[in-house]
Amino acid sequence: MSAPMPPSSLGLRTLELLQGLPPQRLDEISRQCLWRRFEPGQLLIAREHDDRDLHLIVAGAVRVTSYAPGGRETSFRDLQAGMSFGELSALDGRPRSADVIGLRSGLIASLPPAAFRALLQQEWTVTERVLLRLTDLARSLIDRVLDLSTLSVQQRVCLELLRLAQAAGVDGNQARIEPAPKHADLAHLVSSYREQVTRELSALAKAGVVARQDGALVVRDLERLKHIANREVAH
């Protein structure tokens, strides 16, 4: 933990959630926040902590990691300066669903839940952004539930490889994904385990659909990959 910083509204101007608020209001929010510098690897939110603040990333970047009840890490996402996190607990007072650690050193301003709720009550533009973030979150989770309910791990791996191939640039029926994605990262992206992803990639390699080449993953038969990704789940 670092020493508290003197409040400053300058940093809050870059926050997406607070865009367009008048300077006096930013000053006021600034004074309500606890300001902390953080370093890479520093734990900012832990599931067992009882803080319910809304956290504003003024500088640096953080990683949010979700865990299953058994303790297994299930997914993560990285957030940059200007973004915020912790809305759910700040709104409903229930425990955190994730851990957050520093990724690149920076500065965080933490707004207590009562101050956050008062802000929402007074500033419709902020409320509107929070409402839209929550609908976005709900819609992406609904999509994920649908994917998980209706697609096999094999299909999810193939769909993710197709996305990576599109991003890397397709050349006819081939694509070169460089560097090759780590199996653990692919597992996070498709909500599965590293071991299952390794198994699916081996099967795809054996079938000649993908191949490893000098640290890259080459898709050798994009059409076949699409076919596997889109076929009806066997049952």
Binding positions for its own copies, rule: CB under 8 A: 66, 68-70, 72, 74-75, 87-88, 91-92, 94, 97, 117, 120-121, 124, 127-128, 130-132, 134-139, 141-142, 144-146, 148-150, 191-193, 195-196, 232-233, 235
29: nearest Cα among 105, 128, 122, 131:
122
**Minimum CB distance to its own copies smaller for 45 or for 81:** 45
Nearest-5° Cα angle at 54, 71 to 56:
105
Q: From the CB of 83, what's the least distance to its own copies, in Å?
A: 17
Q: For residue 35, which phi and psi values (nearest 5 degrees)?
A: -100, 135
Chain position carrying tokens 């008048």: 22
**94 vs 206, beta carbon nearer its own copies:** 94
Residue 128 C-beta: closest distance to its own copies, Å? 8
Cross-strand pairs, 62: 79, 102
Amino acid code (one letter) for 86 = G
CA gap 115, 126 in Å, rounded: 13
Q: Indicate left, alpha or beta for 219 from its phi (over 0: left) and psi (-120 to 50: alpha).
A: beta
CB 15, min distance to its own copies, A: 19
Which pair of tokens denotes residue 15? 């926050």
The distance of closest approach from Cβ of residue 87 to its own copies in the complex, given in angstroms and rounded to an integer, is 8
Closer to its own copies at the Cβ: 126 or 177?
126
**Residue 43's beta-bridge partner residues?**
101
Identify which of residues 74 and 105 has a Cβ nearer to its own copies in the complex: 74
- Residues 65, 194, 214: CA angle, nearest 5 degrees: 110
Nearer to its own copies, 9 or 192 (CB): 192
Residue partners of 118: CB distance under 8 A and separation at least 6: none
Residue closer to its own copies (CB basis): 19 or 97: 97
Q: How far is the CB of 171 from its own copies (least distance, A)?
A: 28
Distance in Å, CB of 21 to its own copies, minimum: 16
